Amino acid sequence: MLTKIHAFLNSILDQEPETSAYDDTIAIACLLCEVSHADQAMQPEEVAAIENSLCKLLSIDKGKAKELIMIGKEKMKSANSLFNFTSKLSVLDGQSRINLISEMWKVAYADYLDPIEEAIIRKVAKLIYVEQGLFI
């Protein structure tokens, strides 16, 4: 009986890294979508920039990037705050966090920089501990 419980718990623990990696991927997609939607409209230029950013950051193809954008839009609608997404990114190394902020700027500038987009990027940078001097 104890061996069955032990095996069950080990199987659950073995699944966590995959879930964590999936959560990180979704969180990145959500943050990029949040930036583009800050001005209340996702322009085609911004969607293309998000696709390119996801492909670059996550080493995925355009098809997977489009799926992540759809998931990101849905998750973004039900989120209470940016912390819902940034809390999932604590596992990223410093350079990966800087790269994310850099890609967020590219999305923001894809059509034109809205002050709300800038505020979101700066807030995310603070929440994931990227110093201002590293992304300006």
Q: How many domains does the chain have?
A: 1
Residue 4: its pLDDT value, please? 63
Give the Cα separation of 34 and 25 in Å (integer): 14
Is residue 14 very low, low, confident or very high in pLDDT (cuts 50, 70, 90)?
A: low
Q: What are phi and psi of 39, to 5 degrees?
A: -90, 20
Percent of the residues in the chain that have a pLDDT greater than 70, as a whole number: 82
- Rounded alpha-carbon distances, angstroms, from residue 38 to 35, 42, 71, 72, 123: 5, 8, 17, 14, 13
Mean pLDDT along residues 11-31: 70
| pLDDT 10s digits, 46-64 | 999 999 999 999 999 999 9
Cα dihedral value 47, 51, 53, 59, nearest 10:
170
SS (H, E, C) the chain: CHHHHHHHHHHHHHHHHHHHHHHHHHHHHHHHHHHHHCCCCCCHHHHHHHHHHHHHHHCCCHHHHHHHHHHHHHHHHHCCCCHHHHHHHCCCCHHHHHHHHHHHHHHHCCCCCCHHHHHHHHHHHHHCCCCHHHCC
Higher pLDDT, 16 or 134: 134
CATH number at residue 25: 1.10.3680.10
Question: Domain of 75?
Answer: 2-134
Mean pLDDT value across the chain: 86
Q: What is the mean pLDDT of residues 85-107?
A: 93
Report pLDDT for 1.
Answer: 58
Mean pLDDT calculated for residue range 5-32: 69
